[in-house]
Structure 1
Amino acid sequence: MAKTIFITGASRGFGRIWTESFLKRGDNVVATVRNLDALTVLTKEFPTSLLVIKLDVTDKKASFEAIQTANKHFGAIDVLINNSGYGHIGAIEELSEQDVRTQFETNVLGSLWTIQAVLPIMREQKSGQIIQLSSALGINTVSLMGLYSASKFAVEGLTETLAGEVSGFGIKVTILEPGGYSTDFFGTNSLALSEAIPAYEVIRKDFYAHADHQDSGKPEATVQAILSLVDAENPPLRLTLGKVALPWIKHTYEERLKTWESWQDVSTAAHG
């Protein structure tokens, strides 16, 4: 049975690939973009099953209106995929106030607004699925991407809490945690840079050297995973994408547990 899927950030990368895949298998898709021309070809190929809406996800009012337009157009919203977002490179000392505000307004609030907008519809339907794009950097950190990680850590906390709050309404929630992929994430449209401080130049060189040689996944290879997730009767709360994320996450948690346990006497004494 065809589903109606609302997906943000559909003009490129995962969003574009997933949009096309849903359409090809017969689903209805509401795709939000900043530039309507980005999906002209798909609009001509799928004139009745694709609705393209221009949206800046940081605009709360516009996000609520987009959800209402989608629901009115197709009569339901079965799945919300919050894919819109961008990365940021800059040492913590280099971050400007505007860097921080813009990153959180897009990656965190941009997701929150569509979630808040769609929940009344899904509660009335007594069904629905919310898929939130996080990152392996929502659990791990690397130098120069602290702001991006901070935004994804926030997304993880909000989304995990959401899952518990809405489970009684028949709404399912999944956090996607991709590792590195060969999308245009490091392109000018998906990445912001802080003004550099020379003291961090060595770290910066190491960062880009590692980025150039990482084992990046193929975005197209995620299609079956996203289709399986949408079709799952009991989707997981968290799903990693690619072969890099899970080993990295396991290492991170092992190190955290070692640290907590080695200081447990101090922690227990602090209880009083």
Structure 2
Amino acid sequence: MPEESLEHLDWSAPVVRTTRVTPNMQRITLVGGDLGRFESSGRPDERLLLAFPPDGAEKRSYTVRRWNPDALEMDIDFAVHAGGAAAQWAARAQPGESLGFSTASGWYAPPADAAWQLLIADMTALPAVGRIVEELPGTARVHVIAEVTTRGDRQEFATAAAQTTTWLHGSGNGTGDSLLAEAARDWVRPDAPGYVWFAGEAKVSRVVRRWLRHELGWPADRYDVIGYWRDNKEEWVARYETVREQIEAARDSALAAGHDFDSVRDAVDAALDRTGL
């Protein structure tokens, strides 16, 4: 999951409403409090760091599903699943509780000449997809590939854009192997300049990024690929500690060689692959 600034986590806002959007998606609506200090990044996939009650010790990054600055009202959607203190809190949250939050950042940035967009997401990124699609103009052409827990977790998004969707059910999302990368490869891309946005499990993000950057040879401004979470994180972290020096050496070598950000990321991804991570 991308690192977020811990700045301003003393900000908080009260929960005023909870809504079960689909069987495995819970919406928490915040109103007032310190939301008057919140400054949107202006990007529809913007994420902020949340500090969960009662003591704020549990911190996780989540998408701003909807932001109304006039009413100081914010929706945050949570993929509800077994385990995970944040998801458990969201499933039980009641009006009157207070949620800490930070400033926001986002990645979505299609080039001006993009004639089409491909948005690829699992349940954790579906809130960002919803906001992106809803804010697209009528001139936009977008295809969504979404991997959800059950058929009941499909969502309809009101949009002026020309939108099509491929739904995948019962794969990924911590229940098994993801089919997102395979589905993205199989989708027939229009013969025109485009843009791809992916967000989901970290290892799947490496597969998608490798496909775009190395197999298709796309420049970095044609895609944004973000790892939102990591499957079996505790096990992964334990294994990472045993090979940390190898990963950091690969990173430092690329930095010392003066490589750009994407080349440094290539070096780190290759080292993770070599170590089985």
Q: Structure 2 length normalisation: TM-score?
A: 0.33
Structure (1 or 2) with the greater helix fraction: 1
Tell which has more relative contact order, 1 or 2 (C-alpha 8 A, sep 6+).
Answer: 1
TM-score, normalised via structure 1 length: 0.34
